[in-house]
Amino acid sequence: MHEFLVSGFRDIVAFIVLVGFMVVVHEFGHFVVAKLCRVRVEAFSFGFGPRLFGYKYGDTDYKVCALPLGGYVKMSGENFSELSDAAKGTATVAPPDDPGALTSHPRWQRMLIGAAGPTANFVLAFVLMLGYYGWINEVPAVEVKSTTVEWITPGSPAAQAGIEPGDILRRVAGADNPDWEKIFYRIKLNANQTIPVTVERADKTLQLSLHVPAAAKNDDFDLSDEGLLPQLLTGPIGVKEVQPGAPADQAGMRAGDAIQSVDGHPFHTVTSLLAYMKDSQGKPLSLVILRNGAALGPIIAHPAQLEGGWKLGFFAAPTPTRNSPLPWGEAVTKSREYCVDKSSLIFEVLRGLFTHKVSVSQLAGPVGIARVAGDAAETMKLGPMIGLAAFISVNLGIINLMPFPILDGGMILILLIEGVLRREISMIVKERIYQGAFVVLISFFVFITFNDIAKLPFFTHLKP
């Protein structure tokens, strides 16, 4: 329970910092273009609720409010209820004597203001990744750049498809030369479907068909559930620490050793070793150990059920990493590719929702985002944190451009319709549309949040 509360607090803080920053940047985009178009901005707020402090410069109140969940920009004339004349039952298009009101400006300016928020999110994502690739770019000290399969779990969907250890995945579900992240998302987007896979084996190219289980829709699904264990590193598995009395200790392993092979298989990561032991169900293992550069063994180790799985009882040495900043030309290209790939992924998810390949329950709301943000913060590595921030920023930009009332894309759509009609739509009609959209959006938000909460470890452990 204590661990759940600590991780929950960490997740909440990470969520507030990350998403709050994304929303403020989004609103800043609206703010800048509104100012350039000489729309009167009444407030630029960080947070919601009661005003804590701030200062007023010109017409704008720059303030910090009590609830640090993003922020907002308040422009004169953007609130339909302020423009409606409830007493007479009519609505004016805009106050004729107020040139600073949003509705007094040309439609093209209002569309620019609406598109500025999502554009700011796209720019932020690009700048974040540009800074990461140009100044940091954390990579393994020895990197495997090909999508080589390290191990295939016997009887798994990957094994049934005919994929073997050592194969290189050249094409998966239409994606050419994908990396492992892209392979993972391609599989996730095709739950309970059969997808084409092209593998390179020795000097041959084979066309295979891989069935994706329905469980790919679950949040905890990973490639090992498909039976695919990727080779991400080269070299043996380093041993940082051996637990006293554990099978590794009884077999004679020591801190500083490295596991060169297991039953003749040259595993490179603990993930592959754990998958192998899970399939072996406690069968004794023949290990070849490297100690001070010399090979020892084979020695026999007897896995034991520790912490819910078959394990040897040692802590693996952390993967050595190095910073490899890219030249700015390459950094720009990589940043652009990152934003394009993430945007394409979001559109594939949306398409999957409409074609019923993706379930709504797979989507993450604030609680789900908070968990991911907390996990990224816990790694204390810049790569996961910056990557997550950029991904959320791209998400925020695309979602806000969707042609749904309340969202920026909905406002742009209404302005386009008014342009075609060559007249303003009644404020009362707009207000009713937005009220209905607000109810739909809140209902969806509540559903997603409830679904996120049901997935929390605390609640999943309570299930029989």
Active site positions, annotated:
27
- The DSSP secondary structure of 353-373, one letter per residue, reads HHTTSS-GGGS--HHHHHHHH
Report d(CA 304, CA 105) in Å as an integer: 72
Taking residue 443's Cβ as centre, other Cβ atoms within 10 Å add up to 10
Q: What is the DSSP letter of 171?
A: E
With a CB cutoff of 8 Å and minimum separation 6, the contacts of 202 are: none
- Asked if residues 129 and 390 have their Cβ atoms less than 8 Å apart, the reply is yes
Nearest to 277 by CA among 320, 313, 309: 309
As given in the structure block, the two tokens for residue 403 are 């042609």
Phi, psi of 9 (to 5 degrees): -65, -40
The 8 Å CB, 24+ separation contacts for 398-406 are 398/118, 398/343, 398/346, 398/347, 399/346, 400/26, 400/117, 400/118, 400/121, 401/115, 401/118, 404/437, 404/441, 405/433, 405/434, 405/436, 405/437, 406/434, 406/437, 406/438, 406/441
Report d(CA 14, CA 362) in Å as an integer: 21
| CA atoms within a 13 Å half-sphere pointing along the CA-CB vector of 39 | 28
* Residues paired with residue 56 on neighbouring β-strands, in sequence order: 61
Q: What is the DSSP letter of 403?
A: S
Report d(CA 198, CA 169) in Å as an integer: 6
Report d(CA 175, CA 191) in Å as an integer: 16
175-176 and 149-152 strand pairing? unpaired
Nearest to 251 by CA among 278, 280, 294, 286: 286
Residue with tokens 């739950």: 191
